[in-house]
Every structure is written in structure tokens, then in C-alpha cells.
Structure 1
Amino acid sequence: ITICTPDQIFDFALKYAGYEYKLAVASYSKFIIDEIQMYSPDVLAAIIYAIEMIHTLGGKVAVITATLPPFVRNEIEKILGTDVKTSDFSDKGKLRHNVKVYEKNLQSDDIIKIFDDTICDKVKKYLVVCNSIDIANKMYTEIKNSDINASVNLFHSNFTKSDRKTKENAILAVSEKTNESMNIPEIWISTSVVEASLDIDFDILITELSDLFSLFQRFGRVNRKGNKDFSSYNCFVFTEIQGNAHRFVDDDIHSLSKQAILSVDGIISEVLKKELIDEYLSVEKIEKSKYYQEYRKIYKYYKENVDYLS
């Protein structure tokens, strides 16, 4: 069993000198790809083309994800043809999330107000997820300098490796605490690093909107096991993009995602999450986005690019 990232195993899509050795092993291997929607268009194109190469030689591939983009499913089904099986487990998920949406930029005053309105014996763990490090830093500084009665922490990818490990351990430790054992509430301000890599469970999520795929991953960091009370809002979404996030958030996908989440006010099921993705981020709508156009361009390059022997 080998556990790795896509760049370590699917680099044979580049058809560099000697790539045949790795591809030969792939021909009798089984691959499990987790959270395929998380990747940039260039990495996704390499993964999809690698799946095509593996399938051609008889290898097996499984894609397991909480939020599968319809166009990715469509691309994989075209490659695998009749040799494909899909399963949807969304109808088996527990109700966990109660959503309030604000059509505005997230500000530190909003975080403080939500904290003041919701803090109680059963609500002491707050997770704030920003789309960019500059906004996360801004929220942290402003809240840290306020008179809020909570421990305020910051976690993102710009920390050194050792500091990041320390913070990972700390946020995991907070997640495992019972609220009864906590002397003071904790607020963790972070970025997308918490979306898929950490098994954490908080009481309240306050987040910016990037796209539905990322948003629903962030929802999964609150009431993770479905054992907490969700009769009141526990997920607060702010739809507007700010700071450096404009550089890497696809405007088209964000706009479609915003339309989708604005239709929600209250409890949202796993089935409804899937329906929102299928309706608002359908193949037909995504094909018009910059993300999809970039993906197609790079996939075509991989497909048509001759290898080193030519």
C-alpha cells in the first residue's frame, strides 16, 4: 500500500524518459483517489489523463469524494465506458448543518457578533475559514485585539513546518475536548488547509464562500458525527470575495455557487447539497467557466503531446 499525493504517482502523464516503468506497475495496480474536486485545473487534467492511461492497460481506479463535480464524473465515465460503477450515499447521511447566508464580505465584527449571539455551555468551539491568508491574518489581528472573552488562534499554510505541526496538534486537541472541560471558548481562524486534511469537529463554522465543493467540505468540520444540536444556525456563510482570493477563485464558479447557497436558509441535508451541485454546477454551466477551459486546454496537451521517444 502506497499513500502519496497525485504529483508523486501520476507524473507518468508527462511521458518523460522512463515513464513506462511506473505505468507498467500501474497496469496491475488499484488506485483510490480521494477528494478529486480539490485540485487546480492543471493537476486535475493530469489525474484524468493518468486514469485514461491506467484504464487502457487494465489498471483499476476508484474515486471517493464527498462532493463530485458533475463534469469530472462525466469525464471519468467517458474514459471508463461500460467498465464503470457509481454509487451515491448522500441519502444515508445524517442531518448536521443549519445554514445562515449573508450576501456581504466577512468582517471581524461579524465574527464577534455571531460569537456573542451563540456562545453557551454547549457552544464553545468556533472555526472561521477564510479564502486567503491575508484575510485570515486580518481577522485574527482584529479579533485578538478586541475584548472578546475567548482564546483566538491562527492556522494557515504560511507557517513553518514545525509550527504548522504544532498548530495541527493543537486544533486536533481542541476538537477532541468536551465543552464541559473547556474553561474558555476557542476561536480558530484558518484557510482551506482545514477542508480535507484534518479530522476536526467544531460547534460553529463562520466561512467565506469560494465554491460549493469547498463550502461543503468546510461544513464537514462542524457537527461532524451529527450528534450535536443543530436546531439553531451552526454554519454562517459570507458570499463576497475579498483580499487576495480574487487571484485564485474562479469568478464563474463562485457566481454559480453564490446563486446556489443563497437559496438555502436553515437545515440542509446531504441530498440537498448534491442537488445544488448537480443543478448549479452542471456540466453545461461549468463548461463556460475559466476553470473548465483551462482544464480542457491542459488535458488536450497531455493527450496530444508526444512522448520522449518520438
Structure 2
Amino acid sequence: MNIKKFNHLLAKSINNGGLSLIDHLLQVKAAAVTIANYLEMDITIAVLGAILHDIGKASTVFQERLKPGFDWTIARPFRHELASLLFISLVDEAIKPQIIEMIVAHHKSIKKDYKGLGILDLQKDYINRDEAFLLHSKDWEIWSKDALGILGCLGFTVREISLQEAKENYYYAVAYCQKLYSNHYGWSPWKGLLMAADIFASSFTKKTEKACSKLFQHPDLTYYNRKGEFHPLSNISSVSEKRHTLVIAPTGSGKTDFLIRRCKGRFFYVLPFQASINAMFLRIKDDLRFHNPDLNIGLLHASSRIQPGITIDEKMLQNKVGATVKVLTPHQIAGIVFGIRGYEAMILDLKGCDVIIDEIHSYNNETKVIVLKIIEMLAHLGCRVHIGSATIPRKLQDNMLEILGRANVYQPKLFNVVLDTFDRHIVHKIPNWIAAQPIIKKAIEEKQKILVICNQVGNAQKVYDELVDTYASIKQLLIHARFARSDRAVKESKLTKNYNNSKKTCIVVSTQVVEVSLDINFDILITESAPLDSLIQRFGRINRERNETTIGKYKPVYVIQPPNNKAAAQPYELDILKRSFAALPDNKLLKERHIQNKIDTVFTNFNISSIDGHSIFSKGEFNIRKLTHAPKSYFLDILNIDTATCIRESQVEKYLALDLSEDEKMNMEIPVHYGTIAGKGLLKIRNIGTAPFIIPDIAYTSEKGIMMNLVTPKNYKPTYYDCFKNRKNIFNRL
């Protein structure tokens, strides 16, 4: 049969590319075969599931809904994957369970889907038991012939399927899902494989086969065998029969190289902050370029797609399975703990790989608990876990070692005589910001590079304003997390390339975003009080270089006394700030060999609050019902991450333009925490939860970022203020 005969049947609407159904099925098949081959899963099942998963899109109901102008508001829910189930009698009885799992849940939970569109939801909600089947089999005599024709062209042995047989197939799948939901807990590798393949193929379309060739490559990591006189971990063997790693060593000792040397193949590198993630991504990409000229290195965080210097194909690969190296945040990987949609695909991607978790100290207590649960799951999945930090309280170390098994963890140590070579900071305690003024003035006179770190964005903006007013002729930069993503990328680049390498005096005012794994080297630090482990990391941005001229030379760090109230201490606990400040020496050298004991006096308790009620994994077993996933709500709330975005009022129409790419939209967006913006009564682009809030133009500049004190409805320009006053929502129309 001529395959071109079916090119009129689409998988996507014309507005979304107009991809033909046959092309989509072939592309998903190519991705599924690549993934299954790597994971040693049955190739035949992978092929059959990939071809069948969307064959329901041949339905006349689905094709009608792809046409321009279709009124979705009056349409009953139609799930193309449920229509695909009508053909499962074409596969052998022995593999029907795997095929059903690949088809039925690759978009929705089978029950308690957040939109109520799972197969079991529809069975319950429709008044007539057969109503769901009748809708999904409508015009069966017409479209089933096309579907069977496509399947025949793609290698299936086909025969006519009657409407009665289609009905039996549908209820066979319903019964299977009911049985799973009632009696089976766990995750489905087959669902994960299909989701991963579908997402991959939908991104690359015609380039899918070529893109598949870059998946699951084994990296050559010999670059990291380099030795360094001033990096002591480079001279310690990374070879050990022990599966996992725990390294606690000072900034600049060669932790990153050592942890990567411990990896045996594909690896994931987990870091807490966007700036440090971007820097690590570029560092690894550059390190591996010579031995791995065509390596697939992924970057994954909220704005990773707009990182400069990355090709379009590299951007599309970033959040897909199969990267040889992936640099990401714990937020991306924590989906496996909470069972967020797509967690099965993430598990398949991680399974058996090396995972580096760096600077674990930087997370708040709740996130540390989640990281412990991640470590537990990774060990269960056969991953090799490598943990590194300059500072980890012993209580937290004990928890990690208990999870991994002490006998399974390689723990290289640096002797005190080596630690003494990392003494590099004279710590001075000062009472307030006023006391810092003469210090900054003197540093400017001495042509030094000055770093100022505040704990809150508002404080950083205020300090920056004061410094600009006082030292207008000095080059200055403000960086924090509340910039439009395009502006943030520019500032990170300026920080690492221009300010860090400046030969003249300059001032950088920042929040915690510069705290971890960022290779910058300034002369003097003035910082607000923070937890002691965070302070140690901040100190690591000063006098960072290690060579024969810097070892034994000390530079000053100034720590401002903690505030007197809990609100001013945010995002930290006031008691921790006070204990950390008390543990620091004053006008004395901070000895590296004493840091661990100081950390342990500050962090006397580690509150392992239970998340088992929300985690899908406990005591070595999965407790989520198979073919279901959980909502993001608890996950986002407990991590306290940026769950909302804003755009400026002058950018609204551009943002809504049909020809604007997702990357261009992301460039405009300003990430904020939902709690900081939701109560301000602002307009939104559309009346849906994920849409951006609209902020007045006056409340944002590329120099200072979003200024929350100006984010009020009265600061809108007349057009938008009128909409606010009259409760108009013109943005759906736009």
C-alpha cells in the first residue's frame, strides 16, 4: 500500500507544524528503539508500542479538532490515546500489558488526573457506561480503515477489526487499569520509555534519527586525570571498590575533578543555584571538548534554554533523556521523589548512572531532607552517588552514610598540614552596614575588587543604590535572582568575564546566587550574616586562586552582626545566624582545620521532618499506584522555588504574538516566588495559574531588576490601570 495515501492524517494541527501522523509514529519509533536498546528493554515491544501509541489520532473526531476555528469550549473530552487502545488485539496476548502501559498513560494518570481525563476518571464521570467508548470509536467504519492501513505500512500484520472487537479491546484496557489501580504499586518502565520517546520525537520531528545518534554516549573523562600541585585532591587516587563517594574539602582543592574522576560513564551533576549551574555547564563543556568533540552535555533549570552559546539542537536536547552529562538543580531531579508527571522517564534516564551532588550544605532544611530521599532512591536505582561539599554537618553526614551504607562509601581525607595551606581569610565582625563604609572607601583607594553579599533582594538593591550614589565613577554590578532571564544571563557573563578579571577596582553587590561553585576571585568581602556553612562558601569567592604567591597570604572578610528580628533574618533562621556569628573568630585568621568543629557547634540538630506522606518511595519500595502521577503543588511549595513569572506591561502584546518563540518569551519573564506576588492584586496575561503576572514598567530596570515596592496596580499606565479598576480581562482577547 502506498504510504503517501495517508499523509493527510495529521498528528499536530497546522498551527503547531502540521506534522503527519505517519511521520510522528516513525519518529517516536526511532527514539523508542534507541532508548530501549540502551536500557536493554525488549525492542519488539518498544516498536509496537511506539507505533500504536498515537494511532487513535487517525480518528475523524481528532482530525476535526485539529482544524482552525474548532470550538473547544463545547467539546466533550476526547483522548487520542484511548482511541489507540481499540487496536490492541493486533498484538500478542503476552505483551498486551506492556503495550497498554505505553499507550494509556503517556499523557494522563489513569485515575485522579488533575483535569479528570484519565481512563478511569472518564469511566466514572460519564453517565452512560459506554459513553467514553462511543465517543472514541465514533465513525469507526471510516477511520479504522485508515488506521489499519497506516499500521500495515509500518510493519504490523493487520486484519479488519469490528466495532465489537474494538469495544472488547477498550474494556480489556479498562479492566487492566482498574486491576492495576486497585492492587499494584510501583512505576512502569514501559510508560517511561514511551513518554521519553514521544517528547524527544515531538521536539526534533524530522531530525529525530540524527538526534538519536547523540544519545547515551560514553564520555572519555581522561581530562580529569590532570595533576595539580595546588589542588591536593588531584593527587589522591579516585580508584576504589566502594561504590559511592563523600568528599568534604575546601574550595579550590579539586573536588569537582575528583568527583568526575569517580564516574564510570554518563553522569548527572546537581548544583543548587542557576549561576553555579551555568558556570559548571560551560566548564564541563570546555573541559571535555578535546576528547569528546561531539558530546551531548545537557543543562537543566528554569531558564537553561536561553543560556548563550548553545545551538538550537543543543537547547532541544537539554531536557530530554540520554545526555552524556547533564548539569541540573535538585528541583529537576526531585520529581522522582514526589512522582511528578514524567518521573518514570527521569528514572530511566538516571538508572545506573553516576550522580554528583555538590554543595549540599546550600539547601534549606526541607530541601536537605528531599536530597536525602533522592539519594535513597538513586541508590535503589543502581546509581553511584558522589557527594561533595566544603562543609557538611556531621549529623547530615551520618544520615547520608546510613542511607548508602558506610562500607560502600569512599571518603578521601586531607591531612591538617594540607588544610593549613587553605587558610586564607582574616575574619572581622562589624556591627552594621554603616561600619562597612570606611572599609569600602579604603578598598577603593587600594584599587581592590569588592564583593558585597546580602541575604534579601531588597537589601541588595538598597546597598547598590547607596554605593552608586557614593562612588559614581566606579564600575559596579548588581546581581540577584529577580531579573528578566535575558538580563540575568548577561549579568552572569559580565560577572565571570569582566568583573572577575578586572584590573581596576570594581564593586559587585549580590545575593546568595554567587555563593556556590562559581569561579570568581575578589579581594575583599562584606557580607550579611548567614548560616556558617554558607558564610564559608561566600568566603571562598575571596582570595580563591592558589599558587606560590597566594598560599600563606590572607585577605579580609567582614561579617555584619545578625539582625534582631526573624523577618530581617529571612530566608534564614535567626538562631542559626546568631550561633554562626558567635562561632566566627574576630580580627583573626580562620583556620581551615577548625571549620568542621565550628560547623558542628552551630548545627547541633538536623531536623529530619518526614515527607513520606508525599514521597512515592519509602523503605526500599514504591508506594505510588502504577500508571498515575502526583500534582506539583506540594513539591513546589516545600522547595520554596520560583513558581511564578512576571512580565512588564509594555511587553504584553509582544509576549502574546503568535510568531514569538518560547525562548523569546522566556527572555522576557522575571521569575518570582508565587507568595511574593500573588497578593498584590495584579493583572495576569490570562486567567490561568501558570500565566505571567503583569507588572508596571516603572517597577523594573535591567540595572536593578524587579523592585517590589513599586509593584502595585496604581503604578500601571492608564490602559492597564483602567483594566484593573474595572475588572476587565482583555488579555484573553489579545
With the shorter chain as reference, the TM-score category is 0.7 to 0.9
Distance 2:564 2:512 in 1: 15
Counterpart AA for 1:69: P
Task: Between 58-67 and 9-18, report the one with greater CA deviation.
Answer: 9-18
Give, in angstroms, the shift of residue 35 of structure 1.
0.8
Give, in angstroms, the shift of residue 205 of structure 1.
0.3
Corresponding residue for residue 542 of structure 2: 222
- Divergent runs of 4+, >4 A: 226-233, 242-245
Give the alignment's TM-score, normalised by structure 1.
Answer: 0.83
Counterpart AA for 1:239: Q
Corresponding residue for residue 501 of structure 2: 176
SS in 1 for 2:356: strand
CA deviation vs aligned residue, 1:269-301 (integer Å, no higher than 9, x gap): 3222223113332xxx224xxxx2xx4233665
The one of 122, 127, 151 equivalent to 2:475 is 151
Distance 2:367 2:540 in 1: 24
The one of 427, 441, 461 equivalent to 1:116 is 441
SS in 2 for 1:145: helix
Distance 1:238 1:87 in 2: 35
Corresponding residue for residue 426 of structure 2: 98
Distance 1:245 1:199 in 2: 29
Change (3 A) 1:257 1:279: same
CA contact (8 A) 1:17 1:308 kept: no
> Does 2:363 match 1:39?
yes
Change (3 A) 1:76 1:131: same
Give, in angstroms, the shift of residue 147 of structure 1.
5.2
Corresponding residue for residue 280 of structure 1: 602
CA contact (8 A) 1:46 1:299 kept: no
Distance 2:459 2:342 in 1: 44
**Uncovered stretches (5+) of structure 1, i.e. residues with no partner:** none
CA contact (8 A) 1:208 1:241 kept: no
Corresponding residue for residue 137 of structure 1: 461
> Does 2:411 match 1:86?
yes
Change (3 A) 1:114 1:130: same
Distance 2:464 2:564 in 1: 16
Distance 1:300 1:258 in 2: 36
Counterpart AA for 2:605: I
Distance 2:586 2:412 in 1: 26
**Number of paired residues?**
291
**Uncovered stretches (5+) of structure 2, i.e. residues with no partner:** 1-324, 629-734
- Higher RCO (CA 8 Å, separation ≥ 6 residues): 1
Corresponding residue for residue 609 of structure 2: 296
**How do 1:242-261 and structure 2 match up within 5 A?**
245-261=568-584
State, as a whole percentage, how many aligned pairs show the same letter: 30
CA contact (8 A) 1:98 1:231 kept: no
Distance 1:186 1:233 in 2: 16
Q: For the aligned residues, what is the CA RMSD?
A: 2.7
Counterpart AA for 1:216: I
| Greater C-alpha radius of gyration | 2
CA contact (8 A) 1:101 1:236 kept: yes
Change (3 A) 1:197 1:166: farther
CA deviation vs aligned residue, 1:66-102 (integer Å, no higher than 9, x gap): 1113222111011112222223337434221111112
SS in 2 for 1:143: helix
Corresponding residue for residue 52 of structure 2: none
Counterpart AA for 1:189: V
Distance 2:415 2:436 in 1: 31
Give, in angstroms, the shift of residue 231 of structure 1.
6.0
Change (3 A) 1:307 1:201: same
CA deviation vs aligned residue, 1:176-228 (integer Å, no higher than 9, x gap): 133xxx2xx21111111110153111110000111011101110111101454
> Does 2:331 match 1:11?
no
SS in 2 for 1:75: helix
SS in 2 for 1:3: strand
